[in-house]
Structure 1
Amino acid sequence: MSSIVSSLADLVKSVFAVIYSFFETAGHLVLRTVDFVFQFFSSIVNVFLEFAKGLVDLAGGIVQFILGNLAVLAVLALAGFGFLQYQRRQGNTVQVGNKKLN
């Protein structure tokens, strides 16, 4: 008789274990789904933030490139102006084709 009682007790424990396992699995599924949704929207926000950061970096690189080229052009213009002033002070005329530059 005690074996029948212990068998029934084991059967009841198994049924409750199955029910508990079902709810535990459903809870994990809900948590994973919520985590997935959160990660999805978080990654969308990160994509836009990284895109904006890339645009700012690109604009900064373009501005740096333009300013660097302007600096080089300014140095070349000052060198040419200085050369023309030097030639004028020496009494030489600088001609390009049929035009006098000074």
Structure 2
Amino acid sequence: MPSILASLKDLFSSVFEVIFSVFQSAFDTITGLLTWIVNFLVGTVQMALHTVGETLKAAGGLGNLIASNIVLIALVAGGIYGYVRYQSRQGHPVRVGNKKLN
């Protein structure tokens, strides 16, 4: 008789373990899915922010290039203007090709 009771005890214990493992598996599946969804959304936002940041960084670099070129062109133009003014004040005609500038 004790072996029958032990067997029944083991049977009920096994049934409860099966039920518990089914619920545990379902819970793990749901939490894993939710974790995946959250990580996907966070990763998408991080990727978008990184892309925007790098685009702005590139645009800033391009802006620096354009600004430095504008400054350089302005310096050259100012130098040419100063040279032409100096030559005209000295009474020397400034020629470009066959044309007189002053």
Give the TM-score normalised by structure 2: 0.81
Range with bigger deviation, 6-15 or 49-58: 49-58
More displaced 10-residue stretch of structure 1: 24-33 or 74-83: 74-83
In 2, Cα distance between the equivalents of 1:89 and 1:7? Answer: 120
Match in the other structure for 1:4: 4
Pair 1:101-2:67 in alignment: no
Question: Superposed, which structure 2 residues align to 1:60-79 within 5 Å?
Answer: 60-79=60-79
- SS of equivalent to 2:48: helix
TM-score, length-scaled by structure 1: 0.81
> Structure 1: any 5+ residue segments left out of the alignment?
none
Higher relative contact order (CA 8 A, sep 6+): 1
Task: Map Cα deviations across residues 43-80 of structure 1 (whole Å, 9 max, x no partner).
Answer: 33333333332332233222222111101101111111
Alignment identity in percent? 38
